[in-house]
Amino acid sequence: MAFAFFPQRGDRRTVMSVLVAYHLSGQKCLKYFYHQAILGRYRSWLPDAPCYERFVALIPHVVVELYLLLKYRCQPALAENYIDSKPLKVCHIKREHQHRVMADWAAKGKGSMGWFYGCKLHAVVNREAQLVNFLLTAGNIADNNHQLLAYLLKDVRGKVYGDKGYLSKLKEVLLEKGTDLVAKMRRNGKKDALVHQKDAYYHRHRGLIETIFGQWVDLIDLEHSRHRSPINYLCNAFAAPLAYTFMDQHPHIIAFEDRNRLLKAA
């Protein structure tokens, strides 16, 4: 009886399936979704689904499986890729000293929209908007952190386009391994004598990864402040991008060669 609480393999699959389905549903309340869909209209799909209280108790036990499945769903890098980070607020910045749930995980950081208190989800995607690699860190970790870049780009061979926050002395080291990190130059920085037309084209479309982050927040409910434990926070942070990998359509950009071919044909 001491081990009766731990979920069996079927229970784990059920919990993971429900979490992915919830993030694909577009709803913002897990409890409402579970009662209306899982225990309601789609009850025949998961006849062994437990009650909501039992389901919530099982969620922390699938955090490892969610992480491993998300890593498995990552796709290989292409010749052109994008890198960026998404701040994930755990509370309002004015309540940072009162926050307790993520006190040991979150930190105060600064993004393009100003100061925030929470974590950062760093991601690398290819030009077909497929997730290549990811890492969740505290909010005060810089985008050009050497250990962070080494981990995110360890299996990437080709171009990686990022904003000026990714200017790093690690560029030469990465270039020796076949990874060309193309970051936006600062106004007072040294400018290349000639910017390749292909690099300029892909750098102009760096908003692709911003669009992906927007879908994760608006459609898949990646960011909210209703977490009651760090493990549940991790489950949500892994389940949301995992649900994105199961979406039928992803935003994408036309390859540089195909664009030129279309322009010539026109």
Q: For the chain, how many residues are written? A: 266
Least confident of 2-6, 115-119, 140-144, 196-200: 2-6
| pLDDT of 195 over the 80 cut | no
Q: What is the mean pLDDT of residues 82-106?
A: 89
Same domain? 27 vs 131: no
CATH code for the domain in which residue 199 is found: 3.30.420
Same domain? 41 vs 164: no
Q: What is the mean pLDDT of residues 67-78?
A: 94
Same domain? 177 vs 51: no
| pLDDT of 193 over the 60 cut | no
CA–CA gap between residue 242 and residue 125 (Å, rounded)? 14
Same domain? 124 vs 236: yes
Mean pLDDT of the chain: 86
Same domain? 226 vs 210: yes
Please name which of 117, 14, 5 lies closest in space to residue 62, comparing C-alpha atoms: 14
**What tens digit of pLDDT does each residue of 47-65 get?**
888 899 999 999 999 999 9
Q: Name the domain count of the chain.
A: 2
Q: Which residue has the higher pLDDT, 102 or 81?
A: 81
Domain boundary among 31, 50, 69: 69
pTM of the model: 0.86
Domain boundary among 19, 38, 69: 69
179 φ, ψ to 5°? -110, 115
User: In percent, how much of the chain has pLDDT > 90?
Assistant: 47
* Residue 194 CB neighbour total at 10 angstroms: 6
Residue with tokens 């690099």: 199
Would 19 be classed as within a structural domain? Answer: yes
Most confident of 95-104, 177-186, 187-196: 95-104
Same domain? 214 vs 140: yes
CB 241 within 8 A of CB 213: no
CB 236 within 8 A of CB 243: no
| pLDDT of 148 over the 90 cut | yes
| pLDDT of 5 over the 50 cut | no
CB 79 within 8 A of CB 215: no
Residue with tokens 């927007």: 214
| pLDDT of 9 over the 80 cut | no
Q: Which residue has the higher pLDDT, 233 or 168?
A: 233
Same domain? 84 vs 194: yes
| pLDDT of 69 over the 50 cut | yes
| pLDDT of 194 over the 50 cut | no
Would 2 be classed as within a structural domain? Answer: no
* pLDDT confidence of residue 233: 92
Same domain? 94 vs 65: no
* pLDDT confidence of residue 3: 34
Question: What does the block give as tokens for 93?
Answer: 């910045």
Q: What is the mean pLDDT of residues 192-198?
A: 59
DSSP assignment string, the chain: -TTSSS--HHHHHHHHHHHHHHHHHT-S-HHHHIIIIIIIITTTTSTT---HHHHHHHGGGGHHHHHHHHHHHPPPP-SEEEEEEEEEEEE-GGGTTT--TTTTT-EEEEETTEEEEEEEEEEEEETT--EEEEEEEETT--TT-HHHHHHHTTT--EEEEE-GGG--TTHHHHHHTTEEEEEPPPTTS---S---HHHHHHHHTTHHHHHHHHHHHHTT----S--SSHHHHHHHHHHHHHHHHT-S-------HHHHHHHHHH-
Query: Domain residues for 96?
Result: 76-256
* Residue 57 CB neighbour total at 10 angstroms: 14
Would 206 be classed as within a structural domain? Answer: yes
* pLDDT confidence of residue 256: 83
Same domain? 56 vs 135: no
Most confident of 37-41, 71-75, 95-99, 260-264: 71-75
* pLDDT confidence of residue 7: 52
Would 110 be classed as within a structural domain? Answer: yes
Q: What is the mean pLDDT of residues 72-99?
A: 91
Q: What is the mean pLDDT of residues 14-23?
A: 92
| pLDDT of 83 over the 60 cut | yes
Same domain? 124 vs 43: no
Question: What does the block give as tokens for 218?
Answer: 């608006």
* pLDDT confidence of residue 85: 93
What amino acid is encoded at 109 in this protein? G
Domain boundary among 69, 91, 115: 69
Would 3 be classed as within a structural domain? Answer: no
